[in-house]
Structure 1
Amino acid sequence: MIEKLSNFFRKKKIEVEKKTLLSSLAPKVLTKIEDIEKIQPYLDKLNETIDTKGISNIALTGGYGSGKSTIIKTYQSLNPQHEYLNISLASFNKKKEEENDNQTDSKIQKEELERLLEVSILQQIFYHVRPQQIPESRFKRIDNISGWRIFGISVGFVLWVICTTLLLKFNYLDKINPNNWITKDKFDWWSVPIFLISLSGLGILSKLVINLFSNSKINKVNIKGELELGDNVNKSVFNEHLEEILYFFERTDYTVVIIEDLDRFDSTDIFTKLREINILLNNSLLIKDEINFVYAVGDDLFNDRKERVKFFEYIIPVIPFINSSNADEQLSLLIKESGLDPNIFSKEFTSDITTFIDDIDMRLLTNIFQEFVIYRKTLKPEFIKKNDELFAMITYKNLYPTDFTQLNRKEGKLYNLINNKKDYTENLIIKIDKGIEEKNIEIKEIENELISDIEELKSIYFLKILSKLPQTATVEILNKENDFENLIEN
Structure 2
Amino acid sequence: MAESVTCCRKIKHYKLILKVTWKFFLRKIKVKKKDSYDNVHNFQTLTPASDVDLSIYEDALNYAFSEAKIRNIAVSGPYSAGKSSVIETYKIRYPERKFIHLSLATFDSTNDKEKNISNLVLEGKIINQLIHQISADDIPKTLFKVKKDISKYSVIRWAIGCSFCFILFLQLFFSLEWKYFVLGLNDSWYKSFFELFTGNGWYLINGFILFSAASYSLYRLIRAQKTQNIIKKINLHGSEIEIFNDSSDSYFDCYLNEVIYLFKKSKADAVIFEDIDRFDKTSIFERLKEINTLLNNHLGIINKKPIRFFYLLRDDSFYI
Same fold (TM over 0.5): yes
Residue 31 of structure 2 corresponds to residue 26 of structure 1: no
* Correspondences of 1:128-167 after superposition (within 5 Å): 128-166=133-171
C-alpha separation between the residues in 2 aligned to 1:280 and 1:217?
A: 28
**Corresponding position of 1:379:** none
* Correspondences of 1:320-339 after superposition (within 5 Å): none
The one-letter code of the counterpart of 1:138 is L
Shift of residue 253, structure 1, vs aligned partner: 1.5
C-alpha separation between the residues in 2 aligned to 1:197 and 1:72?
A: 58
2:60 to 39, 45, 61: 45
Residue aligned with 1:204, SS: helix
Residue aligned with 2:305, SS: coil
Residue 265 of structure 2 corresponds to residue 251 of structure 1: yes
Larger deviation, residues 216-225 vs 46-55: 216-225
1:295 to 293, 311, 316: 311
Which consecutive unaligned segments of at least 5 residues does structure 2 have? 1-17, 177-198
**Corresponding position of 1:267:** 281
C-alpha separation between the residues in 1 aligned to 2:48 and 2:26?
A: 35
Shift of residue 164, structure 1, vs aligned partner: 4.5
Is 2:120–2:251's contact at 8 Å kept on the other side of the alignment? yes
Shift of residue 94, structure 1, vs aligned partner: 4.4
Root-mean-square deviation over aligned CA pairs: 3.7
C-alpha separation between the residues in 1 aligned to 2:59 and 2:214?
A: 55
Q: Under a length normalisation based on structure 1, what TM-score does the superposition of the two structures give?
A: 0.48
C-alpha separation between the residues in 2 aligned to 1:119 and 1:19?
A: 43
C-alpha separation between the residues in 2 aligned to 1:286 and 1:135?
A: 20
User: CA-to-partner distance for each residue in 1:379-408, whole Å, 9 max, x for gaps?
Assistant: xxxxxxxxxxxxxxxxxxxxxxxxxxxxxx
2:36 to 10, 13, 17: 17
C-alpha separation between the residues in 2 aligned to 1:3 and 1:93?
A: 54
* Correspondences of 1:9-408 after superposition (within 5 Å): 10-18=29-37, 23-30=44-51, 35=52, 38-97=53-112, 112-166=117-171, 195-196=208-209, 199-200=212-213, 202-212=215-225, 215=229, 224-284=238-298, 285=301, 288-304=304-320
C-alpha separation between the residues in 2 aligned to 1:127 and 1:49?
A: 27
Q: Under a length normalisation based on structure 2, what TM-score does the superposition of the two structures give?
A: 0.70
Is 2:244–2:254's contact at 8 Å kept on the other side of the alignment? no
The one-letter code of the counterpart of 1:289 is K
Larger deviation, residues 281-290 vs 21-30: 21-30
Residue aligned with 2:36, SS: helix
Which consecutive unaligned segments of at least 5 residues does structure 1 have? 99-108, 172-185, 305-490
**How many residues were matched structurally?**
273
**Corresponding position of 1:395:** none
User: CA-to-partner distance for each residue in 1:247-274, whole Å, 9 max, x for gaps?
Assistant: 2234332231111111111221111111
C-alpha separation between the residues in 2 aligned to 1:166 and 1:43?
A: 73
Residue aligned with 1:267, SS: coil
The answer to which structure, 1 or 2, has the higher relative contact order (CA under 8 A, 6+ apart) is: 2
Larger deviation, residues 210-219 vs 294-303: 210-219
C-alpha separation between the residues in 2 aligned to 1:19 and 1:151?
A: 52
Query: Structure 1 residues 121, 196: closer, same or farther in 2, change over 3 A?
Result: same
C-alpha separation between the residues in 2 aligned to 1:141 and 1:54?
A: 33
User: CA-to-partner distance for each residue in 1:204-238, whole Å, 9 max, x for gaps?
Assistant: 33321442266279899987554333343232221
C-alpha separation between the residues in 1 aligned to 2:269 and 2:263?
A: 8
C-alpha separation between the residues in 2 aligned to 1:50 and 1:217?
A: 42
Query: Structure 1 residues 206, 161: closer, same or farther in 2, change over 3 A?
Result: farther
The one-letter code of the counterpart of 1:301 is S
C-alpha separation between the residues in 1 aligned to 2:226 and 2:307?
A: 31
Is 2:232–2:243's contact at 8 Å kept on the other side of the alignment? yes
C-alpha separation between the residues in 2 aligned to 1:229 and 1:302?
A: 37
Is 2:79–2:314's contact at 8 Å kept on the other side of the alignment? yes
C-alpha separation between the residues in 2 aligned to 1:15 and 1:227?
A: 62
Residue aligned with 1:53, SS: coil
